[in-house]
């Protein structure tokens, strides 16, 4: 994977994947400016209409194809096989095993828990299985295609009485926001909330979604556990949940994504950790499904998962 695309990268990608040269300099420049790596360049081309038309046998793998997958313990999910980054890895049992092991060890029968950024429900369904009929799961997912799979999974597992699905984003206040996503992407979990006035990244579109603040939402209380993965909007979510965090003191499993935190919430990962400390939470590494050492700044290596402990 190469950092910093050049004209030559784009030209050779066209030649190898589309059997032609770029039609003009105007076709090359947006890709050089808007894409960061050769991996992103490849994904941009193989999800294009031209590539799919020229490579029908290969392109079929990129077409929406929902299947039911039974996981360990009998929990069932509805996943899209065209979602190469998440869906296929769920089917293969490779997606976020560390985080899932932690949830299995932590969530208890009868608890009220939240899944913020629930995607198709991998964590929500496992948590619903753990809390049992006396507990509840509130799952928030604003991307309609994922929420559709999530709702089907609720019915498939007969969890209607214990799982509430909200097709909404969670933020600092209730209202509406712009959800930015890449149409045709092979990763359905990459949508994020746009900062007001920010330009759309190359190859992205947006749609308006409803947004709620947790302190204004009628949750079953006390909330014992929160799993959150909202592509950099985590600080905004907790700004809208000060009362909930101070009164219920839930344990929090969170993604820590430095680039998205800067893009969406305009804060560094270190600042996010400091703000959570101001709310009475310590940040710990997550390793092998258990809480590790306390940290003051994000680990090297990019995206990671941490546990905020009250």
- Domain at 120, CATH number: 3.40.50.150
187 and 163 co-located in one domain: yes
**What pLDDT sits at residue 176?**
96
Task: Provide the number of structural domains found in the chain.
Answer: 2
Omega within 30 of 0 (cis) for the link into 19: no
Residue 136's SS3 state is: strand
The separation between the first and the last C-alpha atoms of the chain, rounded to the nearest angstrom, is 39
89 and 204 co-located in one domain: yes
Dihedral angle over CA of 70, 97, 94, 145, nearest 10 = 60
List 37's β-bridge partners, or say none.
3
Kindly give the confidence (pLDDT) of every residue in the chain, 310 residues in length, as a single tens digit, with 9 standing for 90 and above. Answer: 445 889 999 999 999 999 999 999 999 999 998 898 998 898 888 888 898 888 876 666 678 889 999 998 899 999 998 888 898 899 999 899 999 999 999 999 999 999 999 999 999 999 999 999 999 999 999 999 999 999 999 999 999 999 999 999 999 999 999 999 988 777 888 899 999 888 898 888 999 999 999 999 999 999 999 999 999 999 999 999 999 999 999 999 999 999 999 999 999 999 999 999 999 999 999 999 999 999 999 888 789 999 999 9
151 and 252 co-located in one domain: yes
Query: Is 261:268 a contact under the CB 8 Å cutoff?
Result: yes
**What pLDDT sits at residue 180?**
95
User: Within a domain: residue 2?
Assistant: no
Q: Domain of residue 38: give its range.
A: 7-60
Give the C-alpha distances (Å, rounded to integers) separating 136 from 4, 253, 266: 46, 17, 33
């Amino acid at each position: 994977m190469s950092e910093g695309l050049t004209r030559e990268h784009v030209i050779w990608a066209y030649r190898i994947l589309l059997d032609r040269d770029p039609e003009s300099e105007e076709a090359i420049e947006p890709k050089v400016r808007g894409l960061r790596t050769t991996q992103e360049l490849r994904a941009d081309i193989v999800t294009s209409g031209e590539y799919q038309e020229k490579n029908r046998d290969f392109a079929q793998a990129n077409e929406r194809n929902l299947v039911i997958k039974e996981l360990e313990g009998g929990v069932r999910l509805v996943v899209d096989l065209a979602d190469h980054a998440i869906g296929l890895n769920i089917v293969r049992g490779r997606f976020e095993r560390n985080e899932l092991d932690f949830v299995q060890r932590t969530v208890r029968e009868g608890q009220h828990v939240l899944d913020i950024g629930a995607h198709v429900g991998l964590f929500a369904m496992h948590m619903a299985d753990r809390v049992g009929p006396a507990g509840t799961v509130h799952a928030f997912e604003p991307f309609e295609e994922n929420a559709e799979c999530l709702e089907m999974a609720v019915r498939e597992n007969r969890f209607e009485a214990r799982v509430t699905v909200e097709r909404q984003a969670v933020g600092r206040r209730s209202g509406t926001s712009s959800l930015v996503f890449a149409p045709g992407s092979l990763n359905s979990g990459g949508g994020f909330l746009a900062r007001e006035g920010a330009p759309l990244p190359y190859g992205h579109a947006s749609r308006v979604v409803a947004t709620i603040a947790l302190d204004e939402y009628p949750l079953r209380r006390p909330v014992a556990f929160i799993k959150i993965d909202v592509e950099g909007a985590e600080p905004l979510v907790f700004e809208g949940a000060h009362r909930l965090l101070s009164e219920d003191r839930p344990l929090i499993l969170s993604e820590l994504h430095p680039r998205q935190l800067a893009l969406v919430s305009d804060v560094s990962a270190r600042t996010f950790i400091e703000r959570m400390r101001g709310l009475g939470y310590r940040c710990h590494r997550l390793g092998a499904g258990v809480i590790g050492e306390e940290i003051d700044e994000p680990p090297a290596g990019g995206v990671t998962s941490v546990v905020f402990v009250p």
